[in-house]
Structure 1
Amino acid sequence: MIEKIQLQNILFLDIETVPCEENYQNLDPDWKVLWEQKTQYQRRDEYTPEAFYDRAGIWAEFGKIICISAGYFTLKGDIRHFRVTSFFGDEVSLLKDFNNLLNNHFDQPQHVLCGHNAKEFDIPFLARRMIINGIPIPQKLNLFGKKPWEIPHLDTLELWKFGDYKHFTSLKLLTKVLGIPSPKGDIDGSQVGHVYYIEKDIDRIITYCEKDVIAVAQVFLKLRREELLIAEEIIHV
């Protein structure tokens, strides 16, 4: 029962990713062949490997993380706050900083991670990029040998499915149907690469990422039938 989990023991998270290289032409010949092979099923005959490259950010082998946003509740008496912070910039540095957050503040058995579609995307992506960059995987991301009920992860998409494995609901749709203010601003996931490489506006991406983290926390509160966060309770650090 999610009602039994103490809010302050949950770390809500979201990541933003982009292709490792700005464009297909920057790939060396081996990477081009590997990209063509990796995406053959998804592309079919509709796209060339080059035309499909703007989607490279969804694969950990061809993409990289440029922002990790995390949020957590602090409770003191009847005062509730939700603190949001972001790690951004060089991928190795941001992964190490996030690793330190997990190891130093969210490493106890009662601590859990929560995101929307995080079990399928964010958490595997984080673990794979840590391995690629030679960074030790923190215990909360290391699933080897663990039984399903021992994995310390919550997923609002999974919670909403109620066992229906065919069902996918975007965070935007879920917030709409639950009456939660939309997390989306002036960009969406498909535009992050352009904003990062062309506009070079990391602040815009951070804002977008943090809004998603807040939205996930709001969905979780709604699933527990608790009052939604108001602006005065949200603190950006």
Structure 2
Amino acid sequence: MIQNISLEKVLFLDIETVPNAGSWEDLSETEQKLWDKKTRYQRKDEISAEDFYDRAGIMAEFGKIICITIGMLEKNDTLRIKSFADDDERKILQEFGELFNSPRLRDVILCAHNGKEFDFPWIARRFLINGMMPPSPFQMFGKKPWEIPHLDTMELWKFGDYKSYISLELLAHVFGIPTPKDDIDGSMVSSIYYIEKDLQRIVDYCEKDVLTLANIFRRMRQEDLLKRNINLD
């Protein structure tokens, strides 16, 4: 039962991703052809590969991470939050990866919303693409399912119903938690990054998501909402 999990061992996280290139024209001819092949069966006949490129930010082979936000619970029920954000994805991953050298994170449990389908594999793939090994909690090969230190609030909400999908925003609403989408949502991240060039606005959005994620997990345990404190040491 999730009530038996020590909350001090849970690392709540969320990532924000964008296409690796700002526009279709910025891709090489090879990359355009590979994108066309990758997405051919996902597109409707009337949608070209170029028109579909705005979805590149959800595919690790064609996107990059611009922000990773983490949160961990302190004993006074305060969630301490830290963000790693930069135009240089490798710098983000290096700094994020160094966290796992800490003794506190030796037996850490990762938690994200839809993390098993998106955040966790995305982070692991981008580590490899950048020539680095993913931190231990992201390595799954050879582990039994119950040995993988991953929690996913979407999976917890399904209760075995594999047809069910629920957004973080809707789950927050049904639990009476303030929405994290009061400024932007995920569909706006790419344009805010490439057109408005406002990375801090994206960081603020990512931090709201992590606080909301932690509060959803608390509600699932029938616990009170958390306070928030920025800058996790």
Shorter-normalised TM range: over 0.9
C-alpha displacement of 1:107? 3.7
The answer for unaligned runs of 5 or more in structure 1 is none
Alpha carbons of structure 1 residues 106 and 13: separation in structure 2 relative to 1, 3 Å: farther
* Percent identity for Structure 1 against Structure 2: 54
Number of matched pairs: 230
For residues 40-189 of structure 1, the aligned pairs below 5 Å read: 40-75=40-75, 79-89=76-86, 90-105=88-103, 107-109=105-107, 111-189=108-186
Given that 2:15 and 2:67 are in contact with CA atoms closer than 8 Å, whether structure 1 keeps it comes out as yes
- Determine the C-alpha separation between the residues in 1 that align with 2:103 and 2:157: 28
Given that 2:9 and 2:105 are in contact with CA atoms closer than 8 Å, whether structure 1 keeps it comes out as no
Alpha carbons of structure 1 residues 105 and 68: separation in structure 2 relative to 1, 3 Å: farther
Q: Which amino acid aligns with 1:128?
A: R
Where does residue 235 of structure 1 map in the other structure? 229
Q: Secondary structure of 2:125's match?
A: helix
Q: Which amino acid aligns with 1:222?
A: R
Scaled by the length of structure 2, the TM-score of the pair is 0.96
Give the one of 213, 219, 230 matched to 2:216. 219
Q: Deviations over 1:187-236 (max 9, x none)?
A: 1111101000110000100001011100110000000000112xxx2101
- Determine the C-alpha separation between the residues in 2 that align with 1:21 and 1:161: 35
Alpha carbons of structure 1 residues 106 and 98: separation in structure 2 relative to 1, 3 Å: farther
The answer for unaligned runs of 5 or more in structure 2 is none
C-alpha displacement of 1:46? 3.4
For residues 197-208 of structure 1, the aligned pairs below 5 Å read: 197-208=194-205
Where does residue 31 of structure 1 map in the other structure? 31
User: After TM superposition, which residue ranges in structure 1, 4 or more long, deviate above 6 angstroms?
Assistant: none
- Determine the C-alpha separation between the residues in 2 that align with 1:125 and 1:19: 13
- Determine the C-alpha separation between the residues in 1 that align with 2:182 and 2:202: 10
C-alpha displacement of 1:136? 1.6
C-alpha displacement of 1:183? 1.1
Given that 1:67 and 1:209 are in contact with CA atoms closer than 8 Å, whether structure 2 keeps it comes out as yes
For residues 5-24 of structure 1, the aligned pairs below 5 Å read: 5-24=5-24
Q: Secondary structure of 2:12's match?
A: strand
Q: Deviations over 1:158-189 (max 9, x none)?
A: 00000111100000111111111111132111
Q: Secondary structure of 2:72's match?
A: strand
Q: Which amino acid aligns with 2:25?
A: Q
